[in-house]
Amino acid sequence: MKTLFLQAPSFDGFDGGAGSRYQARREIRSFWYPTWLAQPAALVPGSRLLDAPADGLDVEQTLAIAQDYELVIIHTSTPSFPSDARFAELLKERRPDASVGMVGAKVAVDAEGSLRASSAIDFVAREEFDYTCRDIAQGMPFERVDGISYRDAGGVRHNPPRAIIENMDELPFVAPVYQRDLDIHNYFIGYLNYPYVSLYTGRGCRSRCTFCLWPQTVGGHRYRVRSPGNVLDEVRWIKQHMPEVKEVMFDDDTFTDFRPRAEEIARGLGKLGVTWSCNAKANVPYSTLKIMKENGLRLLLVGYESGDDQILLNIKKGLRTDIARRFAADCKSLGITVHGTFILGLPGETRETIAKSIAFAKEINPHTIQVSLAAPYPGTRLYEQAVENEWIPPNKTINLVNESGVQLAAISYPHLSREEIYHGLETFYRSFYFRPSKICEIVGEMLGSWDMTRRRLREGVEFFHFLRSHGASHS
């Protein structure tokens, strides 16, 4: 079937493509690659991947493209689902014979509810959906496709689950799909060199963090990996066919989980002369960090989450602040840049722990930070806890973002209100960035290159705008 893989139009600047960790409009306009759609697109010859938000396409423009396809597969998320379902309805009005399916964690955990929400959705894919999409595109009848729930005359039917992918080397490269269908200049992240490319070298995460969406819904807790040779072959392909790429980001939940493998890939990247970055847990030993740094590693994206040990225990982070401190010191001594991420409003949060996290962030001083609000996504342990303890209003739709896609505080506690958590975010940012030492650091970085000056000025304007609008609004 003529197949379109679609990231549908949504809020202006909404980065639903980063379905893995953050489904909201960011403080600074940023776009991750829609890798979760690129992977099945690579399995379906002649298909097209369309990322409407990154391309700046509105609903009308996207419909004009989508109506030419027999099969349209939309990546959705909890915040974007209502608008994605509406898009499916508009598409069916234009082309009633088109088959419309949805993929993503939202439909994986609530297949029945998603199908009942709109008659325009013909099927949803649960579990890993790469081969599911391929089977449907090849015309296999719905009743024979593992891992889908679909609508038939008798209501909603749920097929047996799709087996988890064990041999990750079987999956084709996503970079050729990026090159064919996307404009890589539309993708930028404040802390990565521009233009960049992001890829997965494996799926699943051995950590058990209660808030993290994909391991608990789609990827699982076993880290299934591509062989180092396979990863290096794709990087070699990028180097040859996309020479403008300045940095490769490995977006695995925790790339450093298998240290000997991370070291082997690093050595290969060093030989290729590639600048690269990855997600890491703040427990990587100095010896591994040193090998990575010597072989082209520039930046680590690290989820610190909180500066309070009890909160880290509550969320099963598998980390203590003393280990994180040593890790931060090691990165500093090796010259590895760190982008640190923190979350406000996790179980155990108080006014004191918020202050503690801010002090901790200033002490370990990552180069840049992102502060999120605890989001109880359905399918996560955090969501179950929020329901059990009535941290979210019972039997109500929880709004994780407002009408313009900005993240809201969804959780409140008897001792700490939604408003306090929400406004804690701007306090955190101001305390961290508006220090003379941090301002000097960023100005110093800008003096190094005109490109960086332009970029940081643009981001600065967006960031001030974000703080102003955030301070003026309420959750």
Mean pLDDT of 420-437: 93
What integer is the mean pLDDT of 463-467?
72
Eight-class DSSP state of 170: G
Whether pLDDT at 443 is above 90: no
Query: Is the preceding peptide bond at 394 cis, omega within 30 degrees of 0?
Result: no
Cβ burial, residue 291 (10 Å; 0-12/13-18/19+): middle
- Per-residue pLDDT at 395 exceeds 90: no
**CA–CA dist 404, 13 (Å, integer):** 9
Q: How confident is the model at residue 80 (pLDDT cuts 50, 70, 90)?
A: confident
The pLDDT of residue 471 is: 66
pLDDT in tens, 242-252: 999 999 999 99
- The pLDDT tens digits of the residues spanning 96-146 come to 999 999 998 889 989 999 999 999 999 999 989 999 999 999 999 999 999
pLDDT-based confidence at residue 196 (cuts at 50, 70, 90): very high
Query: Is a pLDDT exceeding 90 seen at residue 347?
Result: yes
Q: How much of the chain, in percent, has pLDDT values that exceed 90?
A: 69
215-241 average pLDDT score: 91
pTM: 0.91
Average pLDDT in the chain: 90
* Residue 288: its H or E element: helix 286-294
| pLDDT single digits (tens) 151-169 | 988 789 999 999 999 999 9
Separation of CA 26 from chain center: 12
Assess whether pLDDT exceeds 90 at residue 64.
yes
Per the model's pLDDT, the better-predicted residue between 389 and 379 turns out to be 389
DSSP of 426-444, one letter per residue? HHHHHHHHSSHHHHHHHHH
Eight-class DSSP state of 455: H
Polymer length of the chain: 475
